[in-house]
Amino acid sequence: MHISSLPGRRGIGSLGKAAYEFVDFMCDAGLALWQVLPLCPTSYGDSPYQSPSALAGNPYFIDLDLLVDEGLLLQDELPEYPLDTVDYAAVYAERFGTLEKAFMRFDASRADYIEFKNNNAFWLDDYALFMAIKKAHGMRSWDAWPMGLRRRKTGTARYAPRAEFYKFLQYLFFTQWRALKAYANDRGVKIVGDMPIYVAYDSVDVWSEPELFMLDAELAKTSVAGVPPDYFSADGQLWGNPLYDWEKMRATDYAWWVKRMRKAFELYDVVRIDHFRAFADYYAIPADRTDARVGEWKVGPGKEFFDVIARELGEPEIIAEDLGELHDCVRELVRETGYPGMKIMQFAFDGNPNNEFYYTNYVNNCVAYTGTHDNDTTRGWFDSLDDGSKATVRRTLGYDGENVAAEIVERLFSSAADTVIVPMQDFLDLPSSARMNTPSTLGGNWAWRCSDGYATCAAAIKDMVVKCDRS
């Protein structure tokens, strides 16, 4: 359940009352892991996987009602939206103006604010400056800025005053997030965060340290990330993110990544690394391509990288997103690290009794899902199947009832998997209209919102938790 999907009347889910109520619901339902999508700011396309910063928090998630309680906003200054899907354009047009009012009333000499800025200066100063310059240039990508700004050589100083606003937004986000996470942890709920392996080209990460990415002398991308054709897309997925220069990363003992991972484990208790396979081998697509059909597999940093992370951070809890067509080197890396991989039940119904995604074939050390944010809801997936495929699902499950989603959830709960994570849409048996994302499409994604009244399913979930001995 992503933060954006929480119910409320402010246009998008937030870190306020509804988030605390969701933790209470989880406790009532006997659930102990809350997985969210990346918490970073969104940009064009609204995807949390294409952000202007790998370390910043999304200002949209700042709860405005809490700011009224603090005297930073007035009640009549709060926007009212219908509880519907997220209208990102409307929220973008309104939200920063609303938060500007809070900024004007804020006492920037507060000790906790100064402490926050000092403790986070290693990323916050660059991020705030980047956003101030970006705003002043009509939100254009940094590679369209004047050359002095593009290369960070001249002209940046005059944007420093405006950068303070973006530092303030991060202070609000992290203050509210820390309070929510503490509440969840105190009630026995851990937060599972999602980390995109790549960062966006139009990001402070690339702008501030371009030498760590595969760019040419003019700072243009030479090759980009994606995956070849697979069961998600016939053309593959062309993500467009710049690839890392792993040799330069290795020369710094992966300092950039250590910083990123350390910050992630301040936000989350467990981190799911999206596209984990790229640490073993990654797909490099020429930057001028319009699809992902043409590319080259290259060797990633491998186990050495995770040895450094373990040395610097101890033994962090990591989930390896190891989906897709995998080479042997990827499977070996998952085994070497000992991290649990992922199993997706929707992929299990090909008639093969040894299908690794079918619940009876799971190993203990895995995380089982009905589907992820990139899949249809389980009800939507089943409804979209032809009659023959539906018959295969029913025959494989040995189930002829009406609620296939609930049946699959219960099968996962009864499996050998140490961990099961279920999208809220599947607990509620929602159709395709509640799907979070359709890969390789632009528009209409990331917008689902949960309606009020969802908590009535807590008792049924708790019964299943107890029945399957997952309490």
Cβ neighbors of 251 (< 8 A, separation 6 or more) are none
Chain centroid to CA 95:
21
Distance of alpha carbon 393 from alpha carbon 347, whole angstroms: 11
Return the ∠ at Cα 73 (arms to 454 and 185), rounded to 5°: 45
Give the full edge-to-edge strand order of the sheet including 318-320: 33-35, 190-195, 270-273, 318-320
Active site residue 186: no
Q: Which amino acid is at 197?
A: I
Count CB neighbours of 177 within 10 A: 21
* Residue recorded with tokens 């949390």: 48
Rounded Cα distance, 265 and 257, in Å: 12
Q: What Cα–Cα distance (Å) separates residue 268 from each residue in 61, 316, 317, 424?
A: 16, 10, 10, 19
Instruction: Tell me whether residue 321 is one of the annotated catalytic residues.
Output: yes
DSSP states of 345-384 as a string?
A: GGG--SS-TT-TTSGGG--SSEEEES--TTSPPHHHHHHH
Both tokens of 99, joined, read 């938060």
CA angle 359, 363, 367 (to 5 degrees): 75
Which one of the listed residues 322, 374, 376, 407 is annotated catalytic? 374
- Residue 243 in contact with residue 284, Cβ under 8 Å? yes
Q: Given CA atoms 305, 308, 313, 314 in this order, what sign does their dihedral have?
A: positive
Q: Which of 46, 126, 202, 274 is catalytic?
A: 274
Residue 222's Cβ-side half-sphere holds a number of Cα atoms within 13 Å equal to: 12
Q: Which of 46, 205, 321, 376 is an active site residue? A: 321
374 part of the active site:
yes
Residue positions annotated with a catalytic role? 274, 321, 374
